[in-house]
Amino acid sequence: MVKQKTMISMAEQLSFELPVKAASGRDAFFISDANRTAVSMLENSAQWPQKKMILLGPKKCGKTHLLKIWIKENEALKIDPLNDFDQPSDGASVVVDNIQDMAGISAAETRMFHLHNHLHSTGGFLLMASNMLISQSGFQLADLLSRLQGISCTTVQRPDDKLLRAVLLKAFMDRQLSPPPTVFDYILKNMSRSFAAAFDIVKQLDAKSLAENRPISRGMATNILHNSISHDY
């Protein structure tokens, strides 16, 4: 029994996570009532007040996917204020993802403040994404906080059943996995109703399938769902 447990543990360690190539084109993005308003808002950036917008939504809801589409279609530049960067050219279009991550980091908040002011003064566009309200993010630089709170927001809601089915399917496709339809439907019916849950479950199924060298099954899915039921996604 001990030997078998050791072999399983070793197999799990050997099933290192393979790089995942995520589909990120417009054709791979799914639109439903949960994200329709946000998609429409991003398609009409010329109407943004002061040329700025914040995209709000829970983790793994497709915000980063939307940012990638907007970057491509608007020849925008992605900037990470957590690191040093050169100011973009006058009138540039800029994207900043996960702005909540810089809250409380003095250097990052200062960089973001100067970036905002530069784009504002030169007529550039600024699109940001966050998984929480600005008022809840913990920004310490008062001048930056006041500017961010003055920016219009559009929200990607938690998924309806139609969108969750599409997101779960995309999670499997990104990892080139094809579970039996009955297993897919079982997962969809019993999983936590969130985007993060869909990606996490598929990630665990992929690792377990590799570790045990067998295809994804309902029993495998049941085990993972049972272990995940108490997690807050």
- What pLDDT does 13 receive? 37
Q: How far apart are CA 154 and CA 57, in angstroms?
A: 9
Q: What is the CA radius of gyration of the chain?
A: 21
What are the residue ranges of CATH 3.40.50.300 in the chain? 28-155
Q: 78 forms bridges with which residues in the sheet?
A: 95
CA distances from 11 to 6, 15, 87, 88 (A): 9, 6, 48, 48
What is the model's pLDDT at position 184? 95
CATH 1.10.8.60 boundaries in the chain: 160-233
Q: Which two tokens stand for residue 169?
A: 């399917």
H/E stretch holding 128 = strand 125-130
Q: Which CATH architecture has domain 160-233?
A: Orthogonal Bundle (1.10)
Question: What is the C-alpha to C-alpha distance for residues 157 and 179, in angstroms, rounded to an integer?
Answer: 27
Alpha carbons 29 and 146: distance in angstroms, whole number: 33
- Asked if the 28-155 domain carries CATH number 3.40.50.300, the reply is yes
d(C-alpha 137, C-alpha 154), whole Å: 17
Whole-angstrom Cα distance, residue 168 to residue 196? 10
**In Å, how far from its chain's centre is CA 181?**
26
Q: What's the pLDDT at 213?
A: 95
Largest CA distance in the chain: 69
pTM: 0.75
pLDDT value at residue 22: 54
Quote the pLDDT of residue 214: 94
Per the DSSP assignment, residues forming a β-bridge with 127 are 53, 95
Positions of the chain with pLDDT under 50? 1-18, 230, 232-233
Q: Give the Å distances, CA to CA, from 136 to 33, 62, 76, 108, 131.
A: 26, 21, 28, 17, 10
